[in-house]
Amino acid sequence: MSIVLKVENLSHRYSSAWAIRDINFEISQNGVIGLLGSNGAGKSTTMNIICGVLNQTEGDVYINGVNKRQDPRLAKKQLGFLPQTPPVYMDFTVNEYLTYAADLRFIEKTKVKKAVAEVMDRTGIAHFSARLIKNLSGGYRQRVGIAQAIIHKPSIVILDEPTNGLDPNQIIEARKLIKEIAQDHTILLSSHVLSEINLLCRDIIMIEGGRMVFSDSMDSFNNYIQPTTVLVRMDNPPAESELLNISGVNKVQFLTEKQCRIWFAGNSNISQSIIIASVQHNWQLQEINLEKSVLDDVFKQLSQQQS
């Protein structure tokens, strides 16, 4: 199986401080790969180097075997990029902007019209072809941004926080579109939202403190996302002190009169303990839901393993 993207010993320094150090990974097939990292971890630096926005201090990036440093033009021809803020011109129509994007990508003049029509159809924006981009909703502007990233049919598409700022319905539509594109392209997707990563990604690459702390499948990553809190709703809730008396409970916070969040030790069977206590004391338990680790907790756990 051919390697679409290879990052080898990648390091970059701003002044005297290293932003990233010795990043290594390979991506070899279609699908969505998640790139995770907390603020300041080095994720954005890594993405900018891969996309050619920034020249690395050390190491190499290969796209379909082409060294980006040695032949940047050929390497970038095989790459599509959607930054967190779509790089669209508000006073262009959708058709005008995508025609401009096709020219930037060196698509042959005789093939531009067909390429624009195909990508508008694929991203569901053909009916807005004559509309000014400034008059589109945020979700459709995002679709235009995705369209410019795939108009030249690149091998790999890099999406930086592609659902950021969208409403729930727009997020659902964006996720659906990303899954469809991933059938024919390799997608490297940046996101801080664990639910989104779980829904979209096949594999995960995680950078923390400038170094890579995890690179494996989504299934392996889920082993680190353990329940740490439980959300409970009771019609006859007890005092906080009574909940703290349950074995394994570390902290209690009432969110409403009848709903609370309970922190517990990771190895305790907290749900069973709460159910038993509720029956014994007539708390009238109505709902109980385990909540998984937040991303910061996973970062911390994986970083400690690497140190």
Average pLDDT, 10 consecutive residues per value, the chain (307 residues) = 91 92 91 85 90 93 95 94 92 98 95 97 96 95 95 94 86 91 92 78 89 87 75 95 91 94 78 93 92 62 60
Structure tokens at 111: 């093939």
Residue 306: its pLDDT value, please?
57
pLDDT for the residue numbered 137 = 92
CATH assignment of 5-222, among 3.20.20.140, 3.40.50.300, 3.40.190.10, 3.40.50.1950 = 3.40.50.300
Q: Which tokens go with 85?
A: 């803020």
- What's the pLDDT score for residue 305? 60
Between the CA atoms of 185, 191, 194 and 199, what dihedral angle is there, to the nearest 10 degrees?
-20
* pLDDT for position 164: 83
The CATH architecture annotation of domain 227-306 reads 2-Layer Sandwich (3.30)
Residue 143 pLDDT:
95
Q: What is the DSSP letter of 57?
A: S
Residue 300's pLDDT is 63
What's the pLDDT at 84? 85
Residues 6+ apart with CB under 8 A from 149: 80, 81, 82, 157, 158, 159
Residue whose token pair is 């991506």: 27
- Does residue 62 sit in helix, strand or coil? strand
> Whole-model pTM?
0.76
Burial 199-228 (b: 16+ CB within 10 A, else e): ebbbbbbbbbbbbbbbbeebeebeebbeeb
Range(s) for CATH 3.40.50.300 in the chain?
A: 5-222
CATH 3.30.70.1560 intervals, the chain: 227-306
Cβ atoms within 10 A of the Cβ of 138, count? Answer: 14
Give the model's pLDDT for residue 74.
94
* Residue 59, strand partner residues: none
pLDDT for the residue numbered 191:
81
